Amino acid sequence: MRGMKMKTWLITGASRGLGLVIARAALENGDNVIATARRPEKLSGLNDIANGKLLVVKLELNDTESVDKAVKAGIEAFGSLNILVNNAGYGQLGFFEEIDAEAVETQIAVNFLGTLNVTRAVLPVMRQAGKGHIINIASIAGVEGFGGSSVYCASKHAMAGWSEGLAHEVADFGIAVTCLYPGRFRTDFLDRSSVRYGSKSIDSYATESLKRIEELDAGNHVQPGDPEKLASVLVQLTNMPAPPIILPLGSDALKVFEKKKEQFDSVIKKYGDLVSSTDY
């Protein structure tokens, strides 16, 4: 992909996990990167390939002043902003009834509302330029609801629906929107330093809750997805003249999409008459 026109990326949540790997891939592709994080000091690992193309900026997703400052700093440093990768987020797992209201609100605020804040700040820049690409990192949890992850699923379903709607709203301005649905990738997402569980403990859920946590722990750091290959796909997407609006990533994500299609087909076949009976 080298040799194509250099781009400027803004990546949220770039200090760890997928965000860090994506930032490195963009830099290795010869592009400029505005790497944002709550704790920017954790991004020192990118200095070896920065070559004057890296700007590290502190960004608080739900502080609009912080968001505006980060976008402004990026424009001042590189003169443009072509690609926004909304990656920042975390997993609020556990059974819904065991998660207090504040934790639910925080999950939605970080995973969804924060994404809206950053996109709102970037869109005027892209509209004025007449081009741009917004890439939203959702999840297979934005396609299928999983028990023990209902709140996290809610945040990713919100991102998925908003992404598709936004894609239609901004297409006439030359701006593309792609919502990615990664499966399980080998990052620190399930590490105890990142994932959160409910603060309440209800006896009725105790057995299933423990089973779910044990399953997640056992599957941590043996996930099938390779973050570097995901990052490579993102670089390829940014060079496509007409990138897809939705794209699953990973063999497990493909299975989830196929399962959801089968579910829709089954509902239509079994309840089609009932569904269409509600028209005038």
The residue among 251 and 222 whose pLDDT is bigger is 251
Question: Where do the domains of the chain lie?
Answer: 8-251
Does the structural domain 8-251 have CATH classification 3.40.50.720?
yes
**Model pLDDT for residues 87-109, shown as the tens digit of each residue:** 999 999 999 999 999 999 999 99
C-alpha 228, offset from chain centre = 16
- pLDDT above 90 (res 226): yes
Q: Are strands 246-249 and 54-58 parallel, antiparallel or unpaired?
A: unpaired
pLDDT-based confidence at 193, cuts 50/70/90? confident
Q: What percent of the chain has pLDDT over 90?
A: 83
Supply the mean pLDDT for the chain: 94
Residues 6+ away with beta carbon under 8 Å from 258:
none
152 flagged as catalytic: yes
What is the pLDDT averaged over residues 47-59? 91
Query: What per-residue confidence (pLDDT) applies to 191?
Result: 87
Which amino acid is it at 266?
S
Phi, psi for 247 (deg, rounded to 5): -155, 115
Nearest-angstrom CA–CA distance, 212 and 205 = 10
- pLDDT above 50 (res 167): yes
- pLDDT above 60 (res 2): no
Query: What per-residue confidence (pLDDT) applies to 1?
Result: 37
- pLDDT above 50 (res 3): no
What is the pLDDT averaged over residues 58-77? 96
Query: What per-residue confidence (pLDDT) applies to 222?
Result: 86
Catalytic residue among 152, 181, 197, 205: 152
Secondary element (H or E) of residue 144: none
Both tokens assigned to 280 = 């005038």
pLDDT-based confidence at 205, cuts 50/70/90? very high
Q: What percent of the chain has pLDDT over 70?
A: 99
Please classify residue 142 by burial: count the beta carbons closer than 10 Å to its beta carbon, then call 0-12 exposed, 13-18 middle and 19+ buried: buried
Q: Is the pTM of this model over 0.85?
A: yes
What is the pLDDT averaged over residues 15-43? 93
Residue with tokens 């999983």: 146
What is the pLDDT averaged over residues 179-204? 90
Query: What per-residue confidence (pLDDT) applies to 4?
Result: 56
What is the pLDDT averaged over residues 185-212? 89
- pLDDT above 90 (res 48): no
What is the pLDDT averaged over residues 114-141? 98
